[in-house]
């Protein structure tokens, strides 16, 4: 329950029609089970205290009285449970009967929420028994307490920031303007729905689309519990279709007809942050809802929630393939527009045999095909120097030839050695000047060749390198259009792999696969026995970790300690916590210190939800201080070492 996570449940226990005494026992048993699993919220189906299918028995005083007595018993018997529960039951007030949900916590009934929209079509005839609820809150004396009754109740937890719950009942979700819209606008982050949705062919898909869509529109969590086993099958069948969805993303869904209780860990911080960053999300007006405060204990929670270790890369192969095709098209359309606008018909790019320059070449090839230009007007320049290995050199040459681009080789060793002599650099001193001189010499050559040919230099650097500042300022950092500028390294790999699998050329496929198997390296230091000696991920850390940190920091604004905790869970069994801690320190130090490089980036197309463009998504001062971010990591480390 710390750092914004909270476990919730949706249940559809087996009940009996018109038997509140039996049903209350079933509800209590499930509540105890849920509390034992550290769930802090549980939602039960519509009218579950009596069963939804009681028909005209809802007009019987005996049933209504026993349902109310069962609610009192359940509240008292669950007083020792640290959980908020929503129970469906018929509720009589002022001579009218309401289809309602009672909120229970700590031995008390916190509030009664009546159903707003009463269906009376097809198989439904609720208007025969029930009255629509009122938005105006009434107060009644119940169990020695003043209890609010009304549709516009918000249950706000004092001890868990961001945990504000509102309820709607079944049909309320199906109407054009569900009550949950107003609830979310007034601050509800979690919407619960006590439902009794009839099972007919195909209805499950429609029901799921409604829940996911509403959750996405409202940027909320939606906990949906539907009637199941025990309801009368005289004319209808109920499947117990339970769902937990967070901002349109399904977290848990029960198998229908099983009576399964489902659990999920909600990320309240994510919901709050997402609303905050959306300038179009309505600000809370206040005054229209009644706030009901309650408290829950806070305790450590071992997450059962799946945290994707590769947030930039879709998990499903079909979706991943679709994403790769889409991103390549976005990159190519961006370059196509720039070439069309400038009237340029030639491009120049440095080809190294590495992942990034490979992707840039594939983008250029697709762009030229779209423009009806010959690929020979793509000039790839290979510029071997001190660190170039035969493997990357051969791959660069073979790849260029297979793509059908032009290839030019310029050995830069003499030029760099002359530069060393000019500036007084000892060639045996393999410092930053030794490395960066090579990168800047290559960029100068590309720019000058572009001037010679009336061409445009295509940048190859990716977003992960930009996040870490792993680029030579005014070297590989600079170009005339950066096609990979918003593609993270983890996604670059999948894009190249996808192209390899779909190019239809076995020889090209073999080259691309070997590029994928080659260690990531700038190749600025001499090789060791002909093998790459300078491996980027040994120096700055694994890109899959840095991409994870980058996504969570920029996409959701999470704090370092929270990102660390998420990474420990996401990479369990792959990286030890101490290793993750080491590299997250590196990430924050480099991310803040290297903003000056990102502040003057060349143009490039945005392809995803995270971008480092200084003109778009990240307007960050180059002099921003990292102290408070690093301090939190240091404090966390000190606490763990005690």
**pLDDT one-digit tens code per residue, 544-594:** 999 999 999 999 999 999 999 999 999 999 999 999 999 999 999 999 999
Ordered domains of the chain (ranges, CATH):
2-294 (3.60.110.10), 317-641 (3.40.50.620)
pTM (2 decimals)?
Answer: 0.90
CA distance 576 to 144: 54
Of 104, 33, 23, 139, nearest in space to 70 by CA: 23
- Asked if 106 contacts 140 with a C-beta cutoff of 8 angstroms, the reply is no
Categorise residue 247: left if φ over 0, alpha if ψ from -120 to 50, beta otherwise: left
Averaged pLDDT, 619-636? 94
Provide the pLDDT for residue 286. Answer: 79
CA dist., res. 207 & res. 303, Å (int): 28
| Average predicted confidence (pLDDT) for the chain | 95
Q: Which of 40, 46, 48, 186 is catalytic?
A: 46
Please say whether the dihedral angle defined by the alpha carbons of residues 70, 73, 76 and 79, taken in this order, is positive or negative: negative
Output the pLDDT for position 2: 64
Catalytic residue from among 38, 40, 115, 336: 115
Sheet holding 262-267, edge to edge: 138-142, 145-149, 108-114, 96-105, 84-93, 41-43, 5-10, 262-267
Q: Is 544 a catalytic residue?
A: no
Predicted pLDDT at 378: 98
DSSP class of residue 352 equals -
What's the N-to-C CA distance of the chain in angstroms? 22
Q: How far apart are CA 543 and CA 583, in angstroms?
A: 10
CA distance 583 to 472: 21
Sheet-wide strand order for 456-459: 406-409, 378-382, 347-350, 456-459, 481-482
The band of 3, judged by pLDDT with boundaries at 50, 70 and 90, is confident
- Alpha-carbon dihedral 145, 146, 150, 153, rounded to 10 degrees: -80
415 neighbors 441 (Cβ within 8 angstroms): yes
pLDDT digits (tens, 9 = 90+) for 450-491: 999 999 999 999 999 999 999 999 999 999 999 999 999 999
* 3-state percent breakdown (helix, strand, coil) of the chain, nearest 5: 45, 15, 40
- pLDDT band of residue 192 (cuts 50, 70, 90) is very high
Cα–Cα distance for residue pair 598/624, rounded to 1 Å: 13
Residue with tokens 């109920």: 238
- Identify the pLDDT of residue 201: 86
Q: What is the pLDDT of residue 303?
A: 87
105 is catalytic: no
- pLDDT band of residue 504 (cuts 50, 70, 90) is very high
Residue 618 to residue 86: CA distance in whole angstroms: 42
The string over 361-386, giving b where at least 16 C-beta atoms fall within 10 Å of a residue's C-beta and e elsewhere, is: bbbbbbbbeeeebebebbbbbbbbbb
For the segment 164-189, the average pLDDT, to the nearest whole number, is 97
Which of 344-353, 486-495, 629-638 is least confident? 629-638
The confidence score (pLDDT) of residue 637 equals 86
Rounded Cα–Cα distance for residues 92 and 609 (Å): 50
CB 42 within 8 Å of CB 10: yes
pLDDT for residue 290 is more than 90: yes
Mean of pLDDT values over 610-629: 94
- pLDDT at residue 630 greater than cutoff 90: yes
Of 54, 105, 157, 170, which one is the catalytic site residue? 170
% residues pLDDT > 90 (the chain):
88
Query: How is residue 292 written in tokens?
Result: 């009901």
Instruction: Assess whether pLDDT exceeds 60 at residue 642.
Output: no
On the question of pLDDT at 615 being above 80, the answer is yes
pLDDT band at 207 (very low <50, low <70, confident <90, very high): very high
What is residue 98's predicted lDDT score, i.e. its pLDDT?
98
Q: Give the per-residue pLDDT at 534.
A: 84
Q: What is the pLDDT of residues 40-50, one digit of tens each?
A: 999 999 999 99
**Can you give the C-alpha Rg of the chain in angstroms?**
31
Residue 641's pLDDT band, with cuts at 50, 70 and 90, is low
In the annotation, is 54 catalytic? no
Q: How far apart are CA 89 and CA 298, in angstroms?
A: 30
Would you give the DSSP letter of residue 225?
A: E
Identify the band that residue 538 occupies on the pLDDT scale cut at 50, 70 and 90: confident
Give residue 1's pLDDT.
53
């Amino acid at each position: 329950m710390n750092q914004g996570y909270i476990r919730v449940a949706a249940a559809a226990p087996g009940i009996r029609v018109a038997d509140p005494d039996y049903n209350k026992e079933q509800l209590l048993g499930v509540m105890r089970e849920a509390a034992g699993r550290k769930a802090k919220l549980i939602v039960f189906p519509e009218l579950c205290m009596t069963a939804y299918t009681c028909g005209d028995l809802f007009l019987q005083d005996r049933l209504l009285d026993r349902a109310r007595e069962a609610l009192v018993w359940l509240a008292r018997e669950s007083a020792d449970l640290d959980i908020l529960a929503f129970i469906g039951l018929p509720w009589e007030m002022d001579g009218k009967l309401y289809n309602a949900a009672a909120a229970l916590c700590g031995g008390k009934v916190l509030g009664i929420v009546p159903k707003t929209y009463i269906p009376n079509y097809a198989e439904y005839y609720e208007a025969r028994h029930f009255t629509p609820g009122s938005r105006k809150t009434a107060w009644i004396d119940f169990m020695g307490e003043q209890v609010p009754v009304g549709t516009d109740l918000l249950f706000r937890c004092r001890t868990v920031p961001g945990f504000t719950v509102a309820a709607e009942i079944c049909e309320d979700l199906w109407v054009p303007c569900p009550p949950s819209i107003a609830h979310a606008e007034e601050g509800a982050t979690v919407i619960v729905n006590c439902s009794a949705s009839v099972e007919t062919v195909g209805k499950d898909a429609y029901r799921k689309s409604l829940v996911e869509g509403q959750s996405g529109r409202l940027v909320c969590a939606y906990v949906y519990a539907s009637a199941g086993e025990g309801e009368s099958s005289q004319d209808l069948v109920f499947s117990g279709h339970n769902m937990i969805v967070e901002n349109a993303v399904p977290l848990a869904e029960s198998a229908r007809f099983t009576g399964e209780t489902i659990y999920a860990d909600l990320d309240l911080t994510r919901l709050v942050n997402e609303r905050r960053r959306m300038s179009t999300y309505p600000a809370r007006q206040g005054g229209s809802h009644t706030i009901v405060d309650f408290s829950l204990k806070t305790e450590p929670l071992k997450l059962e929630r799946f945290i994707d270790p590769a947030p930039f890369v879709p998990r499903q192969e079909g979706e991943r393939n679709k994403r790769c095709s889409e991103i390549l098209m976005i990159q190519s359309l961006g370059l196509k527009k720039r070439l069309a606008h400038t009237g340029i018909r030639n491009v120049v790019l440095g080809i190294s045999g590495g992942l990034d320059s490979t992707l840039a070449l594939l983008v250029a090839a697709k762009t030229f095909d779209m423009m009806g230009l010959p690929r020979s007007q793509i000039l790839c320049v290979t510029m071997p120097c001190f660190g170039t290995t035969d493997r990357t050199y051969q791959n660069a040459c073979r790849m260029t030839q297979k793509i059908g681009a032009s290839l030019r080789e310029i050995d830069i060793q003499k030029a760099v050695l002359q530069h060393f002599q000019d500036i007084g650099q000892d060639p045996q001193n393999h410092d930053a000047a030794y490395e960066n001189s090579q990168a800047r010499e290559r960029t100068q050559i590309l720019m000058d060749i572009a001037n010679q040919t009336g061409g445009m230099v295509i940048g190859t650097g990716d977003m992960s390198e930009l996040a870490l500042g792993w680029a030579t300022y005014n070297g590989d950092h600079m170009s005339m259009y950066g096609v990979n500028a918003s593609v993270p390294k983890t996604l670059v790999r999948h894009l190249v792999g996808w192209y390899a699998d779909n190019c239809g050329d076995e020889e090209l496929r073999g080259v691309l696969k070997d590029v994928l198997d080659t260690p990531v390296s700038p190749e600025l230091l001499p090789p060791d026995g002909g093998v790459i000696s300078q491996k980027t991920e040994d120096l700055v850390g694994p890109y899959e970790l840095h991409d994870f940190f980058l996504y969570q920091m920029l996409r959701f604004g999470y704090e370092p300690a929270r990102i660390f905790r998420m990474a420990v869970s996401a990479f369990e069994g792959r990286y030890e916590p101490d290793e993750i801690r080491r590299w997250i320190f590196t990430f924050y130090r480099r991310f803040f210190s290297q903003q000056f490089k990102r502040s003057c980036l060349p143009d490039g197309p945005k392809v995803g939800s995270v971008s480092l463009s200084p003109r778009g998504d990240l307007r960050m001062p180059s002099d921003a201080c990292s102290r408070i971010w690093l301090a939190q990591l240091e404090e966390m480390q000190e606490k763990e070492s005690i």
